[in-house]
Chains A and B, each alone.
Chain A
Amino acid sequence: MAAPRTPQLPPAAGPRLLAAGLRGWTALVLVFLYLPVLVLVAYSFNAARLGVGWEGFSGRWYAELLAQAPLQRAALNSLVVATATTLLSVVLGTLGAWLLHRHRFPGRDLLEALVNLPMVMPEILLGISLLVLFALVGVGLGFTTVVIGHVTFSFPFVLVAVRARLQGLDPALEEAARDLGATPWGAFRLVILPALRPAILAGGLMAFLLSWDELIVTYFTASAASATLPLKVFGLAKVGLNPVLNALSALFLLVAITGVAFSAYLRRSAR
């Protein structure tokens, strides 16, 4: 089992202490990251309305959550928006990655900078500038405007993921396909695309989760009818604490865990 190792002197006390310190610090930070959210999840099962005390285990808030039509509507909206965003982002991102990877042309650096911009730009800028655009053109806010906003910051993530995979791909693959008589499109579809599948799935998952959680851009581009779940949650949280929100938060956490587990599975199968 154990790989042959070069004989090592026992580490000095200094580095050993440092390593222990780092381990302890990491554990502390993880507690800091998880404790507040886990407390929230625990309280989502508390029968008490808002008190700190524990008054018994109850699924009441989940039942109430399921009974609230506006929240259900918002969840459905979020699902529609995230799905549309994912599909469009995957198409734009994959095409963009392939073209940027394969071709040199004038203005390529500028294009690349532009692709990166929506990923790192403060979201509020995307939100207000799109709002000005939509108002000027006279497009009413609704699902289309929300999806436009979401795709704009999501597809670059797909593009980056797919491009990283392309860079690791052996160019000889495509050449071989062409030599065997495949058209450029045929080579792309039959050789490149299957090799890109894990990256496309990972990028698509990222786009979905980004869209599902997004608040800021949505805040400026949604109408009342197309309000997404985060928008509703924000509205409710501003008013104050609400046990139904605890239950909803637990569900959000579940979505994140599922997403991370799925992406870990994708990474493993890509190896």
Chain B
Amino acid sequence: MPGARPGALAWLLLTPLLAWLALFVVLPALLLLGCSLGERDEFGQVLWGFSLENYARLLDPVYLGIFLRSLGFAALTTALCLLIGYPVAYHLARAAPRVRELLLLLVMVPFWTSFLVRTYAWMAILREEGLLNALVAWLQPAWAPLGLLYTPAAVVTGLVYSYLPFLILPVYASVEKLDGALIEAAHDLGAGPWRVFPAVILPLTLPGIAAGVTLVFVPAVAMFAVTDLLGGARVPLLGNVIQNQFLQARDWPFGAALGVALLALFLVSQLGLRALRPRGALRG
């Protein structure tokens, strides 16, 4: 029966879903675009209009720099998550069922623990009177205290820590689907592990990698809470600037323009991933 044409009842039932998406996803996105073309008056109110001035401001070196830095931080975070997480996901998927179940639960708990709590944990470790500095003081009294908190390294550590499970889980799902016979066949044909990985395993787990990379990169570009807590005000990224325009500077049209730029970046990356994804067998 799947594939039936909807009757009147089905259309009626579909209405809430359609209305919800239209009202709270499509309409707000269009309004954001509209807002970005307006300007603000001296009281911070939005004056609707049609001007590209906010977009011209995006080209200011200050904002271009922030854009590039955000992309760089997100790319570094993603690369580190991939390097750290891929072997874990692989091991998980190939482990004996009982071990696998346990390991999977162990990765799920951080996944479901608020990133806020996990970021806060790093504040306690990295601050000047924190655990790491206590350790340093004990090992190398001459070095302490190191200024670890509120540095780019702290931000990247926090981002990697927050997003690592988001990479492990989708990669795990795609390694799990991998047909072990293919790997054995490659071994039988004389390929060692260093050949099998790039020739067989990597291409077959590409969908999982793509999904994991999106789940890390996209939110990392615009994250402002982790950067606020671990970077202080010293390392502003795109998310911090947007947040600031909306809530402190009260320049909504410019904030909206930054948002639209982020949305465009996001949509392009989604289309790019879709083009990368092989059709047919590897879907899902």
Contacts and interface: CB of A to CB of B under 8 A. Distances in A.
Nearest to A230: B116
Interface in A5-40: 14-15, 18, 22-23, 25-26, 29-30, 32-34, 36-37, 39-40
A171 B2 contact: yes
Interface residues of B, number: 88
B221 interface: yes
B52 interface: no
Among A99, A128, A209, max chain B CB count under 10 A is at: A128
B178 interface: no
Interface stretch (A57-65, A68-76, A193-201, A231-239): A231-239
A79 interface: no
Contact of A125 (B18, B26, B92, B259): B259
B246 A234 contact: no
Interface residues of A, number: 85
Contacts of B24: 130, 133, 148-149, 151-152
Nearest to B84: A29
A60 B120 CA distance: 20
A245 to B, nearest CB: 6
Given A101-B2, A132-B252, A152-B24, A252 B113 contact: yes
A37 B119 CA distance: 9
A46 to B, nearest CB: 11
B69 to A, nearest CB: 16
B185 interface: no
B222 A125 contact: yes
B25 interface: yes
B256 A128 contact: yes
B131 to A, nearest CB: 6
Contact of B116 (A33, A114, A115, A234): A234
Contacts of A104: 3-5
B108 interface: yes
A238 B228 contact: yes
A168 to B, nearest CB: 12
A225 interface: no
B83 to A, nearest CB: 10
A117 B25 contact: yes
A23 to B, nearest CB: 6
Interface of B: 1-6, 9-10, 13-14, 16-18, 20-21, 24-29, 31-32, 35, 46, 84-85, 87-88, 90-92, 101, 103, 105-110, 112-125, 127, 129-131, 134, 161, 164-165, 192-193, 214-215, 218-219, 221-225, 228-229, 239, 242-243, 246-247, 252, 255-256, 259, 262-263, 266, 270
24 contacts: A23-B91, A36-B121, A95-B14, A103-B3, A103-B10, A104-B3, A114-B26, A120-B214, A124-B222, A124-B224, A132-B256, A151-B24, A152-B20, A185-B9, A213-B116, A216-B225, A219-B225, A233-B120, A237-B229, A238-B228, A249-B117, A256-B112, A260-B112, A263-B108
By Cβ-Cβ distance, the 5 closest A-B pairs, closest first, are A129-B28, A36-B121, A122-B222, A213-B114, A256-B113
